[in-house]
Amino acid sequence: MPTTTPKPPRKPKARLRAVKVDSAKKLIPKGDSRKPSWWRVNVGKRFTGTTKQRRFFDTEADAIEFINETEKAAKKRGKSAFEISNALAVEALELSKQLAAHGSSLTDAVHFFLRNAPLVGKKTVTELIPVYLRTKTEPTYRRAQKISLGVFAKDFGKKPIAGIFAPVLEKWFERKKWNPLNARNYMRDLSMFFRWAEMSDYVAGNPFDKILRPTVARKVPEIFTVEEARKLLEAAYSNQALGLLPMYAVGLFSGVRVEEIGRMQWQMIDWKEGEIRLPGEITKTGMPRNVDIFPALRAALEQGAPKTGVIVSSKALRYRRDRLLELAAITKKRNALRHSFASYHAAKYRNPGALQLLLGQETPSVMFKHYINATRKTDAETYFNLRPPFPPPAEEETAAAQPCNDSSN
């Protein structure tokens, strides 16, 4: 029988070792007392299967840790463990250490990124603003949003929206030094922009979810006194050329917003049913609502022949309103028409549910917080009894003595 020559035993793979090197990365011989600048580990071709790799470490402990990890990887995965670059291997090890503190791995991190990363690319703020504004169909609201976003774009317009995060935004607001109410309004508008960007996959998340809103000191809503309301109506009645009596009557006796009045048509007034029917396309909320026609409003609107078209012309409207205030000798007050109606209605009728429906408010808390100023019931009675031509009360009359003609409402 032929004899077989036994194969020589396989030479064991050499272990990696750490050696001392000087500042020029030259080997420090054994017995040399010089302090090493680095510890070097050479990973030869027998490990990598391709090219020799050389690594330098600050301490011997770091070098030994690398040797242990490398030998484990070579044993488990063979030469494929060395198919990535040194730089990538270093980065992977460092990131793995950081993730370990959170009980996560590189795989977890990559999966999280893929689930949440924006998919549409690095669009800038300036590129996205026009796209976002086209989603806002209501012109007045779109203009207000455009103003806020224009201020934001002056500083962030050229930046990719996906790279704008909460800390940068907080510092930006600090530099602006806006009062709390203005800052809160800008945060609201910008948060809506980022929320849309998030839903459209332009950003991974809304940074305003991590920003605290400033506290705004509560202010009592401004209203017109009964005498101021009378003077405004009298001035509008006496100066018909201004064309403002319908606007002020609707504002004072129905609580319809000024912006909504500007979009109202006479055909929206249902005299037979005694209601103003506001379609969703003209309301602030986009929801239709019906508003009672109180006797005071009917008396003011029924002046003259039946009317068609818009309730109030938009031509030079700001000038005409300023002129009316001047004729009435009344100081301008913010949203005072709506606030006045809400306040006097609450005092007269004591029916918050009905008032909430008239104002189109979703919650009573918002209504009471932002719309109602405490008034006397006697003043409310006088207010809802104002009638054309809105003469001042006789000196001997008191507000409490005036009759109430709208008890049916």
Q: Tens digits of per-residue pLDDT, 197-217?
A: 999 989 888 999 999 999 888
Please give the Cα distance from 231 to 327 (Å, whole number).
9
Is the pLDDT at 143 greater than 50, yes or no? yes
Please give the Cα distance from 36 to 57 (Å, whole number).
10
29: left (phi over 0), alpha (psi -120 to 50) or beta: beta
Region 217-243: what's the mean pLDDT?
93
Are the CB atoms for 267 and 278 separated by under 8 Å?
no
The average confidence (pLDDT) of the chain is 85
Q: Which of 45-49, 233-237, 250-254, 257-261 has the lowest mean pLDDT?
A: 45-49
Is the pLDDT at 16 greater than 90, yes or no? no
Region 375-385: what's the mean pLDDT?
96
Are the CB atoms for 376 and 393 separated by under 8 Å?
no
pLDDT band at 4 (very low <50, low <70, confident <90, very high): low
Region 131-145: what's the mean pLDDT?
87
Please give the Cα distance from 188 to 209 (Å, whole number).
11
Which residue is associated with the tokens 């999280």? 112
Which residue is associated with the tokens 């008396």? 299
Residue 85 has a pLDDT of 63
Which residue is associated with the tokens 């009359």? 397
Q: What does the block give as tokens for 31? A: 């017995």
52-64: pLDDT as tens digits: 778 888 888 888 8
User: What are the strands of the beta sheet with 38-43, ordered from one edge?
Assistant: 18-21, 38-43, 53-57
Is the pLDDT at 218 greater than 50, yes or no? yes
When comparing pLDDT for 165 and 55, which is higher?
165
265-316: pLDDT as tens digits: 999 999 999 999 999 999 988 889 999 999 999 999 987 656 889 999 999 9
DSSP characters over 159-191: SBGGG--HHHHHHHHHHHT--HHHHHHHHHHHH
Residue 68 has a pLDDT of 83
Residue 11 has a pLDDT of 45
Is the pLDDT at 114 greater than 80, yes or no? no
Q: Percent of the chain having pLDDT more than 90? A: 52
pLDDT band at 401 (very low <50, low <70, confident <90, very high): very low
Residue 397 has a pLDDT of 47
Which residue is associated with the tokens 């011989």? 29
When comparing pLDDT for 14 and 150, which is higher?
150
Is the pLDDT at 398 greater than 50, yes or no? no
Amino acid at 378: T
Residue 121 has a pLDDT of 64
Is the pLDDT at 50 greater than 80, yes or no? no
In the three-class reduction of DSSP (H, G, I as helix; E, B as strand; rest coil), residue 119 is classed as coil
Q: Which of 36-50, 161-175, 198-212 has the lowest mean pLDDT?
A: 36-50
What lies within 8 Å, CB to CB, of 39 at 6+ separation is 18, 19, 20, 21, 56, 57, 58, 59, 60, 62, 63
Q: Which domains does the chain have, with CATH numbers?
A: 18-116 (no CATH), 125-210 (1.10.150), 226-401 (1.10.443.10)
Please give the Cα distance from 275 to 354 (Å, whole number).
14
pLDDT band at 400 (very low <50, low <70, confident <90, very high): very low
Region 329-345: what's the mean pLDDT?
94
Is the pLDDT at 405 greater than 60, yes or no? no
Residue 38 has a pLDDT of 84
Q: What does the block give as tokens for 330? A: 């009344």
pLDDT band at 150 (very low <50, low <70, confident <90, very high): very high
DSSP characters over 58-88: SSHHHHHHHHHHHHHHHHHHGGGGGSS-HHH
Q: What is the DSSP letter of 27?
A: B
When comparing pLDDT for 254 and 41, which is higher?
254
Query: Quick check: pTM over 0.95?
Result: no
Distance of CA 357 to the CA centre of its chain: 27
Is the pLDDT at 131 greater than 90, yes or no? yes
Residue 12 has a pLDDT of 45
**70: nearest Cα among 101, 41, 107:** 41
Is the pLDDT at 338 greater than 90, yes or no? yes
